[in-house]
Amino acid sequence: MPSYNIIEMGSRKRIALVAHDNKKRDLIEWARYNRAILVEHDLYATGTTGALLAESLDLQVTRLQSGPLGGDQQIGAMISQGEIDFVIFFWDPLEPQPHDPDVKALLRIAVVWNIPVACNRSTADFLISSSLMHDPYERLMQDYEEYKQRLKNRA
């Protein structure tokens, strides 16, 4: 049976916002509608999405690389370093992406680190309207020490 650690999420969440080209407009509209909530949190976004959000919302958005240039991987690294609490990723399931492996890796790392992820507008609405958005939250994180030890013993 796995053991767990508790990771404290503050009341001010660190939110990554990502959107594929065909979903940028949806994300911008969603973010405008939810601006009053988003202003209370720290926002991070990949390339063009970050520029569009900063301009549309008149908010500070920490911009990372474009997704195909490594932005998705940057967000994944930030998750694994405990620097991202929440991911909103409006991805386009109908359009092949040249960086699909990066997208899958980002979603995988979010699940490994037990990070809330919304991949469409409805899920984003439910997550951002949750009473947990405004309060500290104790996220259970599986303790991977046993897994790391097994890997070390194989080497």
Active-site residues: which are they? 72
State the CB neighbour count (10 A cutoff) for residue 12.
Answer: 12
Closest CA to 141 of 109, 101, 100: 109
Q: Which two tokens stand for residue 117?
A: 């992820």
Q: Is the CB of residue 63 less than 8 Å from the CB of residue 50?
A: yes
Q: Is the CB of residue 71 less than 8 Å from the CB of residue 64?
A: yes
